[in-house]
Amino acid sequence: MLTLVPEWTEYELVDSGSGKKLERFGEFTLVRPEPQAQWPPRLPPERWRAADGEFSQSNGSRRAWQFRERVPERWIVHRRNLAFLVEPAPSGHVGIFPDQACHWDTIAELIKRAARPAKLLCLFGHTGLATLSAAAAGAEVTHVDASRKAIRLARQNQALSALSDCPIRWIVEDALTFVGREVRRGNRYDALLLDPPRFGRGPHGQIWKLDDSLSELLGECRRLLSASPLFVLLNMYATTLTRGHTEREAEGLRVSLEKMLTNLRAAIVAGELAIEDPTRRRISRAVFARAGFTPRSEGVPR
């Protein structure tokens, strides 16, 4: 199993331990829960107390953000050619997943290496950073997410990254519904990126359950592949934190792609995305499987 850890300058896992992580996003530091960090923190307590904000429980209430100093509602962070907003949300998320930067780099590299026009479909695209990486590399991208708020933030990230002229379609829709419509229209894509949640709702109340819906979605996505596909990338956040279970989930995604791409010349790899603190203590964040195709592929059986 591959383990990928991204390179950053404006994000840092400053420390971890006691079920928490201390992260730096640009000029601000935040403390968030991290069940994997069951070890003593490296830094002294006063360093943690100096953080700009913490997502935690207070007096037995539900978790909420508590900001120790005046912190803006949102601020800009950069990575390579991208600029994007960090926005602490009531869920504890901040609008970006730093581990995903590994995928941004891979997608951009694969598209540039293809040296030909490429159409990418990004499903469950969240705030658009994979989409923007692909578009900056020269792809024509269709970005689909069920959250209007996520799409709004993605479009703002597009403007901040000076990529407003790139050919991106922003679609607020349920993934299965959209893919079925594209199949009926006869549209085809050279690359697919899927980052499905365990559970979700579409904009019109559609229910998404990973265990019930993933196989159907992959089957329909297979029908969207062009005659000369570049890659399919399937990412998923791990639910169980033990090492053995992470490996089994990554292998499960690999098997899912293998079934989806039967009879195609695809090389499939699987692994995990992780972040590390300065002492190399690693926190596993997601599992993935990625299929790449050889130029000799002779089309996609329907």
113-146, pLDDT tens digit by residue? 998 999 999 999 999 999 999 999 999 999 999 9
Model confidence pLDDT, tens digit, residues 201-249: 777 677 767 777 899 999 999 999 999 999 999 999 865 555 578 899 9
Query: Please, how many CA atoms are within 13 Å of residue 279, restricted to the half-sphere of its CB?
Result: 10
Q: 192 and 225 share a domain?
A: yes
Residues 220 and 213: their CA atoms lie apart, in Å, by: 11
Whole-model pTM: value is 0.92
Pairing state between β 20-25 and 199-201 = unpaired
Report yes or no on 74 lying in a domain: yes
Residues 2 and 6: their CA atoms lie apart, in Å, by: 13
User: pLDDT tier at 171 (50, 70, 90 boundaries)?
Assistant: very high
Residues 6 or more apart in contact with residue 248 via CB below 8 angstroms: none
Report yes or no on 13 lying in a domain: yes
CATH of the domain at 162: 3.40.50.150
Model confidence pLDDT, tens digit, residues 32-85: 999 999 999 999 999 999 999 999 876 667 889 999 878 999 999 999 999 999
Print the domain residue range for 228: 98-293
CATH of the domain at 60: 2.60.40.1180
Q: 44 and 180 share a domain?
A: no
pLDDT of residue 57: 74
User: pLDDT tier at 174 (50, 70, 90 boundaries)?
Assistant: very high
> What's the Cα-to-Cα distance from 18 to each of 22, 39, 256, rounded to whole Å?
11, 6, 36
